[in-house]
Amino acid sequence: MPKINANIQFMFNEYELLDRYDAAARAGFEGVEIQAPYSEPIEAIQERLERNRLKHVIINLPVADPETGQNNLPLQPDKVALYQERVGLGVEYAAGLGCIGVNTGIGPLPQGEDLDTAYRTYIDNLRFAASELQKVGVFALIEPINTKDQPGFLIHNSSQGMKAIADADHPNAFLQYDFYHMQIMEGRLTETFAELLPSIKHVQFADTPGRNEPGTGEINYPFIFRKLDELGYRGWAGAEYNPSGRTEDSLDWFHAL
């Protein structure tokens, strides 16, 4: 069985943010991830991690544009300095929390922005983030996201993700493979995963349609989890789903493992 961690941005929302760490541990998880830990001091999160013997697996960079609210700061050539500032904050939190990786962000194409310029800006920003994260021993992750949930998302399939990694040409840039997003965009989940395994440093999952817990949709997760073991994947797999009810009542799939 792969190492399963809970995404507490999505799960355990019945609790305040810090209390979600406790709830995840009570439910049996040994690891957690969250997109946005930045509302809490590093020391407060460290205390919850230590108390519960939890591994903090990944976080996201804070890449929301302060003017539009869209999470596409990495694509904007006139806001490179701000993105680099946000990288600094992400590095501080990732190092302090002992993360293995940071989702460096992509986003939808900004309105009125030239596609080629946005892509070149993104690649330069990815290279910068990879270099800064490498200094603290943390992987720089890129995550293709489906265009049904996020229309216009610049990198929305695994081939585009791998091209971005190649274009960045940095030894610390890796793929974050989300089975939910890739089922919507391309299918061939385990075949593609096997092909890309050397470049994958983190996995996420939810069922589709609905983005609820495994067992509520069309993806055969018992098969996928077995395949991850067969392929020798040794990383974490993040449960990033919207519970169909109370989080603790959505964990039959987890207990079955």
| CA–CA dist 17, 45 (Å, integer) | 10
Q: How far apart are the first and last CA of the chain?
A: 7
Can 132 be counted among the known catalytic residues? no
**Among 33, 132, 143, 213, which one carries the catalytic annotation?**
143
How far is the C-alpha of 136 from the C-alpha of 213, rounded, in Å? 33
Q: Could you tell me how many residues make up the chain?
A: 257
Residues in CB range of 157: below 8 A, 6 or more apart: 144, 182, 185, 186
| Mutual angle of helices 80-97 and 115-134, in 10-degree steps | 30
Catalytic: 14?
no
CA 216 to chain centre: 21
The Cα 161–Cα 167 span in angstroms is: 10
* Neighbouring residues of 123: CB distance < 8 A, sequence distance ≥ 6: 164, 167, 168
Question: Annotated active-site positions, please?
Answer: 143, 240
